[in-house]
């Protein structure tokens, strides 16, 4: 909806001839960009070097991938349920209570990790545990993802099949499962001479979702480790300023740890 018909949103054409530094065209372009940024803080970029066909193809493929990932997600949740049961955990009731049922949106992020200088081994993404409920990573066959298997021991995920995704448990799922599911510390390390591209699909529960450990997962042997918490509050906390000083894997404990753990926390609820 247009707010005021008299206000004209700046439209700036980026012609390749004007992109050469120091030319007249370059100076004029700089002036237009500066003015637009001063008045509006944004502007429309007309840049036809990237053809409409390439853009259309990119969005078509992205839609295809999103649909595939959405399909992938439901089997993954079923798999989780099965895994928990196979681990001997008495969770049949918990699921029959729909405790893992939630409404969520999937947000996606595309990443490009630049190849490091020759011969170097460089951090592409610092070590962290994921803050969404779970993540599915799709990479372009250039390895780089590493997971921490023991304290300080990193395992490189190489030789992933071209049709595989990597599923990561996030901190909220770890809290929900009373620590039984592990939210693995992971990072991206770059070596070699190729850039790496990846796409991550994050499961973000809707606002108001409370992460609550089902009572079936709490007993004398497995006291409740985390209090019930609002997912969004945890998410905002994890990306807040004070959280910067805290190790990523510790954030969940800082935010929601019950100290000491409680073996009958849910019993009378
Ligand atoms: O790019 C990757 O392989 C990992 C991305 C990741 O861990 C993240 O975005 O949380
Ligand atoms: Fe991650």
Tell me how far the alpha carbon of residue 160 is from its chain's centroid. 20
Position 252 in a domain: no
Ligand 1 center to 234 CA (angstroms) = 19
The count of structural domains within the chain is: 1
- List the domain range (segments joined by +) for residue 157: 11-212
Note residues around ion ligand 2 (Cβ under 5 angstroms): 130
User: Does the residue 227 lie in any domain?
Assistant: no
Atom of ligand 1 nearest to the CA of 145: 3
Which pTM does this prediction carry?
0.80
The residue whose CA has the least distance to atom 5 of ligand 1 is 200
Q: Is residue 233 part of a domain?
A: no
What separation in Å is there between the alpha carbon of 108 and the centre of ligand 1?
11
The residue whose CA is least distant from atom 3 of ligand 1 is 145
Residue 251 belongs to some domain of the structure:
no
Number of alpha carbons in the 13 Å side-chain half-sphere of residue 201: 20
In tens, the pLDDT along 119-147 reads 999 999 999 999 999 888 888 989 999 99
Is the CB of 111 inside a 6 Å radius of any atom of ligand 1?
yes
Burial class of residue 175 in the structure, from the number of CB atoms within 10 Å of its CB (0-12 exposed, 13-18 middle, 19+ buried):
buried
Q: Is the ipTM of this complex over 0.90?
A: yes
Count of CB atoms situated within 10 Å of the CB of 103 = 9
Sign of torsion over alpha carbons 218, 249, 128, 149? negative
C-alpha 186 to ligand 2 mean position (Å)? 6
Rounded Cα gap, residues 183 and 169, in angstroms: 5
Q: What is the CATH number of the domain that holds 47?
A: 2.60.120.330
For the segment 38-76, what is each residue's pLDDT rounded down to a tens digit? 888 888 888 888 888 988 898 888 888 878 877 776 677
Question: Nearest CA to 170 among 213, 127, 132, 203?
Answer: 132
Point out the ligand 1 atom lying closest to the alpha carbon of residue 168: 7
In a domain, 265, yes or no: no
């Amino acid at each position: 909806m247009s707010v005021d018909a008299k206000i004209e949103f700046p439209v700036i054409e980026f012609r390749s001839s004007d992109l050469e530094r120091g030319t007249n065209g370059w100076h004029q372009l700089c002036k237009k960009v500066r003015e637009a940024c001063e008045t509006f803080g944004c502007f429309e970029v007309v840049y036809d070097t990237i053809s409409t066909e390439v853009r259309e193809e990119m969005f078509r493929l992205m839609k295809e991938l999103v649909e595939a990932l959405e399909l992938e997600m439901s089997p993954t949740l079923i798999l989780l349920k099965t895994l928990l049961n196979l681990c001997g955990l008495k969770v049949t009731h918990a699921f029959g209570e729909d405790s893992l049922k939630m409404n969520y949106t999937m947000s996606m992020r595309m990443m490009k990790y630049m190849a490091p200088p020759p011969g170097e081994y460089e951090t592409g993404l610092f070590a962290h545990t994921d803050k969404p409920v779970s993540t599915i990573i799709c990479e372009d066959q250039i390895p780089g993802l590493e997971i921490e298997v023991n304290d300080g021991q990193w395992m490189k995920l190489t030789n992933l099949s071209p049709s595989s995704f990597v599923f990561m448990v996030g901190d909220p799922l770890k809290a929900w499962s009373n620590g039984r599911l592990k939210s693995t510390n992971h990072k991206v390390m770059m070596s070699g001479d190729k850039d790496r591209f990846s796409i991550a699909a994050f499961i973000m529960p809707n606002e108001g979702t409370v992460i609550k450990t089902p009572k079936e997962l709490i007993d004398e042997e497995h006291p409740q480790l985390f209090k019930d918490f609002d997912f969004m509050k945890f998410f905002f906390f994890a990306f807040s300023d004070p959280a910067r000083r805290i190790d990523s894997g510790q954030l969940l404990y800082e935010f929601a740890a019950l100290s000491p753990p409680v073996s009958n926390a849910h019993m009378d609820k």
